[in-house]
Amino acid sequence: MLKIDDLHASVEDKAILRGINLEVKPGEVHAIMGPNGSGKSTLASVIAGKEEYEVTKGSIVFEGEDIDELAAEERAHKGVFLSFQYPVEIPGVSVTNFIKTAINETRKAKGLDDMPAKDMLKLIREKSELLEIDRKFLSRSLNEGFSGGEKKRNEIFQMAMLEPKLAILDETDSGLDIDALRIVANGVNKLKSKDNAVVVITHYQRLLDYIVPDFVHVLYNGRIVKSGGKELAHELEEKGYDWIKEEVNA
Ligand code: ADP
Ligand code: MG
Ligand code: MG
């Protein structure tokens, strides 16, 4: 599904990613961990196609297509979802109306008509029941001062509705409390299927007690310096990152 090969990327002429290799197959959950400033959010942004990041070398292939030259929006239309890519605050627009627009824009990009209202309602009902989101929340304005947990609920709802092939969740800077953590984890676990894939970026091992990854990668200094199974996350929890830095610098 996703194949990243020797990816180098810079921001403001500063090299951040220095040769990332990563392959994600359908049905897999990958966790990317690593100390602050190692390039985790940069990697997420580069995959999603945020403009301020420049790929200087290597390739990002999604479903057989080199997507490096595509705009973020086009990547989203192809099924790449990045958490917080969609706004959480728009005055006067409800959670539901925002997502309806996003879905119809995606359809338009594919040459399809708007989703019939009946189907849209059915989809909303289905997904909100799955995620245990109540009606009141769906009619709230995206400007109503969401709590951390509500922002997460909105984000997971957007993800559920858009049904991305590849979801990238960057949880590093969001100050997740235990409720928000459970919302994200339950959502991901319920939306996971053999056809989609999830990349969870976190420096909290805690999250990985709820979302069990198939692979854990440690990013350090712009490179993936270690990969393993879920046990690697526990090892990091116990020992921190110093031993990895020592291994790399040896
Ligand atoms: P992580 O998510 O692992 O904490 P980041 O990818 O956010 O790391 O940051 C990696 C490095 O890139 C840091 O030194 C950071 O200051 C720098 N960086 C990231 N984004 C930008 C940006 N938009 N402008 C300038 N520097 C940036
Ligand atoms: Mg980050
Ligand atoms: Mg580019």
Model confidence over 73-119: pLDDT tens digits? 999 999 999 987 777 778 889 999 999 999 999 999 999 999 999 99
Model confidence over 154-173: pLDDT tens digits? 999 999 999 999 999 987 55
Residue 178: CB atoms within 10 A of its CB come to 10
User: Residue 172: its pLDDT value, please?
Assistant: 59
Q: Which residues contact 106 (CB under 8 A, 6 or more apart)?
A: 76, 77, 162
Cβ–Cβ < 8 Å for 218, 237: no
Cα gap 156→138, rounded to integer Å: 12
| CB-side neighbour CA atoms (13 Å) of 44 | 24
Helix locations, the chain, DSSP H: 40-48, 72-77, 95-109, 117-130, 135-138, 148-162, 178-191, 207-210, 230-239, 242-249
Amino acid identity for residue 38 in this structure = S
Rounded to the nearest whole angstrom, what is the distance from the C-alpha of residue 61 to the centroid of ligand 1?
23
15 lines ligand 1 (CB under 6 A): no
Rounded to the nearest whole angstrom, what is the distance from the C-alpha of residue 99 to the centroid of ligand 1?
29
- Which CATH number goes with the domain that contains 195? 3.40.50.300
User: Residue 38: pLDDT band by 50, 70, 90 thresholds?
Assistant: very high
Query: Token digits for 28?
Result: 């897999």
Model confidence over 205-224: pLDDT tens digits? 888 888 899 999 999 999 99
Poorest-confidence range of 20-29, 57-66, 202-211?
Answer: 202-211
User: Residue 33: pLDDT band by 50, 70, 90 thresholds?
Assistant: very high
The total domain count for the chain is 1
Q: Whose CA is nearest to atom 20 of ligand 1?
A: 42
How many helices (DSSP H) and strands (DSSP E) are in the chain?
10, 10
- Tokens 């180098």, residue? 8
What percent of the chain has pLDDT above 90?
Answer: 73
202 lines ligand 1 (CB under 6 A): no
**Is the pLDDT reported for residue 5 higher than 60?**
yes
Poorest-confidence range of 10-19, 92-101, 145-154, 233-242?
Answer: 145-154
The pLDDT of 15-42, averaged and rounded, is 96
**Is the pLDDT reported for residue 133 higher than 70?**
yes
Question: Average pLDDT of the chain?
Answer: 92
Indicate which atom in ligand 1 lies nearest the CA of residue 222. 10
* Residue 46 belongs to domain spanning: 2-249
Rounded to the nearest whole angstrom, what is the distance from the C-alpha of residue 36 to the centroid of ligand 2?
7
Q: Whose CA is nearest to atom 6 of ligand 1?
A: 39
